[in-house]
Structure 1
Amino acid sequence: MDVSVIIVNYKTKELTHNCIDSVFQNTNDIEFEVILVDNNSRDGSAEFFSKDNRIKFVESHSNLGFGGANNLGYSHSLGDYIFCLNSDTILFENSIKILFDYYKKYAEKKKIGVLGAFMVDNNHTYNGSGHLLPRLSDYSNLILNKLMRRSNIPFPIFPEGVDCVEVECVTGADLFLSRKLVEEVGGLFDPAIFMYNEESELQLRIRKQKYHNYVIKSTSIIHLQGATLTAISNQISSEKYYNQLRMNIKSRNYMLKKHYSFIWRSFYYILRFICYAPIVLLGKESCSRKKEIIKILLRNE
């Protein structure tokens, strides 16, 4: 088996079905399998996908989070290469074969860790294929961007005529890597991370082993979520935003403690607090919720 495509479904039945269809409609000249993990959706997804004979359906009876569900799918995989693909992506060309061929051709020369495709929105406009790993400039740059009203620019930037760009971290929507590498770095995703930052933690481990992560422009994949986030000021009254912020910070704290020094983390947390505290305090949520977020921002564990 060349490639195992792992897709996680959580209450996105229609999106997931479209994603699966796009994989089978556009993938050829390669031996592959599609493993779908349903993360206890309870919306009819299990009954629907269990009847699809094209896929290997794995049902989880609890919500394992994104990383945990991918790990479950990985335990059922047979491929020499693993392709973790978000359910909100659509393939419109033979992307899996292109990624597979590129990885095999340049694996040793470029010492490839994770490989990703050129991600576009529904209008085929580039919307970002990677991001940076944590750095002390994260929040100072965010503050400056807000003050100067700078818009987000999709990352990475591809110079004219360049097909492959090295990135610190490939976006979690499409992660292509070898089974051999997964085993070398101690597994796919850290099971301690329920959601957010799991792809960063994985690629930190990969980079520590002196591998490099790349995005190639020779194949594109539609990512329906897009890369442009709603401004924080428009989200702060949303309960969903608070829940996402809490999970994001908790998983980020865990990753930082695992991979960064105490002194580095301390400076990082101070900058994070300076950036977020005014936004939280000026929000329209209850005092108890504000206190909860402030406590998470201050937590150095």
Structure 2
Amino acid sequence: MQLSVIILNYNVRYFLELCVQSVQSATENIYAEIIVVDNNSSDDSCNMIKSRFPNVKLIRNNQNVGFPKGNNIGVAQAKGEYICILNPDTVVAEDTFEKVLNFAKKQNNLGIVGVKLIDGTGNFLPESKRGIPTPWVAFTKICSLYKIFPKSRFFNQYYAQHLSENETGEVEILVGAFMFLKNELYNEVGGFDENCFMYSDDIDLSYMVLQKGKTNYYYHDTTVIHYKGESTIKDGTYMKRFQEAMTFFYKKHFQVSVFFNVFMRIGIVFFSVIKRIQGRSKTKTTSRKYLLLSTSETVVKNIIGVVQKKVNFLEWKSEKEVNLSSNSIKKGTQIIMDNEFFSFKECIKIHERFKNKGITFRIIPKNADFIIGSDSSNDRGEVVIIGKNYI
């Protein structure tokens, strides 16, 4: 078997359905398996997987064992030569795994491969590629020196700014939302360190792979949506665990002076407070117009019943000839993409094409009864049930 995709889920039932749907589409031409590990979700995640995706291997934990252990449990049953650790709040393109697999096979000393990640608004997520967060590198992040001197190697290491978002190359640290590596290597380094509940586990794994003499890569030639804010509600518990995670990483890998210990403690608290502020719910803006890309008039009627507003209907078959332009779609519009007729790769391209234009995005997964998306990487996404009568 070529590939095992490991998806660790905790109470994100609808995002999980969208994710698995996209992974299924992306593995049609690959000898692969999908393994979903559920950390004792209280929503309908497990029943949904059983009914919607009977070929997916489902592992149910009787408690929330955390990110590292949950993924280790999944990898322990993986049969693929390669594995991909994938967040449940992601959407991959139909050719994502084929591209990454082909790239990985060409490398002589392969460590971990990460890809270009964007949020639900189409904006690039800088954590797609990072440097080792030594005390100095963390300092440049805390003081925003990486923004002031983006081209200086001395200041720009935190987000590996020696590479642009559209440039493939070597990096040190990759994010746990998408980590592609050999099954053998994962087990050689011992997988994720289960002493860390979450938040620095991907940094730690990336660093352990580097210590084995392997090379980690950021691969830009495929884009994956990571809704991000859906995985974790940024509350007091998050703040506490984030502090514990960063403290864990420094104690494990670095011998630093008392001064740096105090400094990093202050920095960790600062980071945590900022993240908590960013994670607070913001007032949602109501879309003034809705544009549905589909071939089904029935879907239009269902959406109108939910939003109680006029929905412009642009048939996707004719859109291929019309060609969407930035000028034709105004600020305040919500673009709704019907995956029944609109590939995930096309959905991702629309996100990127219309980013930062005051436009929001939603996807209707194939054979699903809901619309899903997110308007901020720091907030929970939105799920709207539209009914099953159009399926």
Band the TM-score falls in, shorter-chain normalisation: 0.7 to 0.9
Which residue in 2 is equivalent to 1:67? 68
The correspondence of residues 1-301 of structure 1 with structure 2, limited to 5 A, is 1-51=1-51, 52-106=53-107, 108=108, 111-128=109-126, 129-145=128-144, 155-157=159-161, 163-185=167-189, 187-225=190-228, 240-261=234-255, 264=256, 266-275=258-267
Measure, in 2, the Cα distance between the counterparts of 1:103 and 1:112: 7
- SS of 1:50's partner is helix
TM-superposed CA distance for 1:193, in Å, is 1.2
Structure 2 unaligned residues grouped into runs of 5+: 151-155, 274-391
Using a 3 Å threshold, how does the CA distance of structure 1 residues 225 and 162 change in structure 2: closer, same or farther?
closer
Alpha-carbon shift at residue 131 of structure 1 (Å): 2.0
Query: Is the CA contact 1:158–1:165 (under 8 Å) kept in the aligned structure 2?
Result: no
Letter of the 2:27 partner, please give it: T
| Shift, 1:140, TM fit | 3.1
Indicate the SS of the match to 1:203.
helix
Note the alpha carbon deviations across 1:100-151, whole angstroms, 9 max, x for none.
Answer: 1111111x1xx221001111223433222122222122453245339x9999
Rounded to whole Å, the distance in 1 between the matches of 2:105 and 2:271 is 47
| Structure with more relative contact order (C-alpha pairs < 8 Å, separation 6 or more) | 1
The structure having more radius of gyration, on CA atoms, is 2
Distance 2:93 2:224 in 1: 7
> Cα RMSD between the aligned structures?
2.9
Q: Which moved more, 1:156-165 or 1:85-94?
A: 156-165
Percent same amino acid among aligned pairs? 28
Q: 1:48 corresponds to which letter in structure 2?
A: M
The one-letter code sitting in structure 2 at the alignment partner of 1:14 is Y
Cα deviations by residue, 1:169-213 (Å, 9 ceiling, x for unpaired): 01111000001211222x211111111101111111111111111
CA contact (8 A) 2:135 2:264 kept: no
What's the CA shift string for 1:66-86, capped at 9, x where partnerless? 111101111111101010001
Whichever residue aligns with residue 91 of structure 1, its letter is: V
TM-score w.r.t. structure 1 length?
0.78
Provide TM-score, normalisation by structure 2: 0.61
- Give unpaired runs (5+ residues) of structure 1: 227-238, 282-301
Q: Which residue of 1 aligns with 2:323?
A: none
Question: Cα offset for 1:277?
Answer: 6.2
Give distance in 1, aligned partners of 2:103 and 2:272: 45
Residues 279/15 of structure 1: CA separation in 2 closer, same or farther (3 Å cut): closer
Task: Assess if the C-alpha contact under 8 Å between 2:11 and 2:45 holds in 1.
Answer: yes
Aligned residues of 1:85 and 1:175 also touching (Cα < 8 A): yes
Q: Cα offset for 1:166?
A: 1.4
Distance 1:130 1:160 in 2: 10
For the 8 Å contact 1:28–1:97, the answer to whether it is kept is: no
Structure number with the higher helix fraction is: 1
In 2, Cα distance between equivalents of 1:159 and 1:277:
29
Q: Answer yes or no: is the 8 Å Cα contact 2:82–2:182 preserved in 1.
A: yes
Question: Does the CA-based 8 Å contact 1:130-1:156 persist in structure 2?
Answer: yes
Deviations 1:250-284 (A, max 9, x none): 122222222222xx163432212444668999xxx
Provide the residue aligned with 1:235 in structure 2: none
d(CA) in 2 for partners of 1:135, 1:91: 31
